[in-house]
């Protein structure tokens, strides 16, 4: 669904109200879905616990305690943007890019030891590949992290392109990383579908004029209204994600 400018702040609406409004502002039928772009962390792979461990160890080196509650504010953000905020919030005397590189080393050591693929999402990916739907990854993680993790979990075969937010001007919620993925796929943004787990990614998909399936990592009610921008929402998160239902929905968009 290609959505226009609603002129209303998302946070002022409930999920249901925003979803209803989003559908009312359609001006024309959307083109068929011709490609699917996946977020990586929290969407394809269960990596958020590993990121927390890496962030905690990283900040511990600088004498800063870091809790799971604090980590929640960063889910869906790019790694570099997160390090920029760390430097500002905690007064760290280190360049954000250097901090990001340090974190990547920590994260890869942890993640390469154990990072599972969500089986439901693997099933959905297999359905897309079996029906010759081009797929790509667009993530806020660094490109080397993406490459190594995708290979580590055995997902390096299906994806035509791996795109990092580090390769574009702005990370999510800006649409840049999804637009770059569409460009590399050779598919118009309006013919792309995004699969996401976090509000910044859902907003980025909306701003890119792409359809979106949202499977939230954080499911504490009430869900943020931004999830109402998704075209298909699984509000209970990965526990409720049904790959066959998602594929049936995609078929209806093709």
Give 17 or 212, the one with higher predicted confidence. 212
Which residues are the active-site residues?
Answer: 39
pLDDT of 144-187, one tens digit each?
999 999 999 999 999 989 999 999 999 999 999 999 999 999 99
Whole-number pLDDT of residue 14: 52
Q: Tell me phi and psi for residue 239, to 5 degrees.
A: -60, -25
Cα–Cα distance, 88 to 249 (Å, whole number): 43
192-196 β-sheet, strand order: 161-164, 135-139, 35-38, 192-196, 211-214, 232-233
Three-state SS sequence of the chain: CCCCCCCCCHHHCCHHHHHHHHHHCCCCCCCCCCEEEECCECCCECCHHHHHHHHHHHHHHCCCCCCHHHHHHHCCCCHHHHHHHHHHHHCCCCCHHHHHHHHHHHHHHHHCCCCCECHHHHHHHHHHHHCCCCEEEEECCCHHHHHHHHHHCCCCCCCCEEEEHHHCCCCCCCCHHHHHHHHHHCCCHHHEEEEECCHHHHHHHHHCCCEEEECCCCCCCCCCHHHHHCCEECCCHHHHCCHHHHHHHHHHHC
Q: Is the preceding peptide bond at 151 cis, omega within 30 degrees of 0?
A: no
Q: Whole-model pTM?
A: 0.83
On average, the pLDDT of the chain sits at 89
Q: Count of CB atoms within 10 A of residue 7's CB?
A: 6
| CATH placement of domain 48-111 | 1.10.150
Question: Average pLDDT of 88-112?
Answer: 94
Lowest-pLDDT range of 17-21, 91-95, 145-149: 17-21
CATH superfamily of 10-46+116-253: HAD superfamily/HAD-like (3.40.50.1000)
Give 180 or 253, the one with higher predicted confidence. 180
Whole-number pLDDT of residue 28: 60
Lowest-pLDDT range of 20-29, 55-64, 80-89: 20-29
Give 7 or 208, the one with higher predicted confidence. 208
Q: Tell me phi and psi for residue 141, to 5 degrees.
A: -75, 165
pLDDT of 111-139, one tens digit each?
989 999 999 999 999 999 999 999 999 99
Q: Please report, for the chain, the start and end positions of each structural domain, with discontinuous segments joined by +.
A: 10-46+116-253, 48-111
How far out from the chain centre does Cα 122 lie? 16
Question: Average pLDDT of 189-207?
Answer: 98
């Amino acid at each position: 669904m290609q959505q226009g400018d609603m002129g209303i702040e998302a946070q002022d609406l409930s999920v249901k109200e925003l979803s209803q409004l989003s559908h009312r502002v359609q001006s024309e039928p959307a083109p068929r879905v011709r490609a699917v772009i996946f977020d990586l962390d929290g969407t394809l792979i269960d990596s958020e616990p590993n990121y927390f461990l890496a962030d905690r160890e990283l900040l511990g080196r600088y004498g800063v305690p870091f809790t799971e509650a604090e980590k929640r504010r960063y889910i869906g953000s790019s790694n570099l943007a997160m390090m920029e905020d760390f430097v500002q919030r905690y007064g760290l005397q280190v360049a954000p890019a250097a901090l990001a590189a340090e974190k990547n080393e920590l994260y890869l050591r942890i993640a390469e030891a154990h990072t599972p693929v969500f089986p439901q999402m693997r099933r959905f990916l297999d359905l897309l590949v079996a029906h010759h739907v081009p797929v790509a990854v667009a993530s806020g993680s660094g490109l080397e992290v993406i490459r190594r993790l995708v290979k580590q979990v055995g997902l390096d075969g299906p994806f035509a392109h791996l795109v990092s937010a580090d390769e574009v001007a702005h990370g999510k919620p800006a649409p840049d990383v999804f637009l770059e993925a569409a460009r590399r796929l050779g598919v118009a943004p309006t013919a792309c579908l995004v699969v996401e787990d976090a509000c910044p990614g859902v907003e980025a998909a909306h701003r890119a004029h792409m359809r979106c399936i949202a499977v939230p990592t954080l499911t504490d009610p009430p869900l943020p209204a931004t999830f109402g921008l998704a075209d298909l929402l699984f509000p209970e998160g990965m526990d409720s994600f049904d790959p066959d239902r998602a594929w049936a929905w995609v078929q209806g968009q093709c």
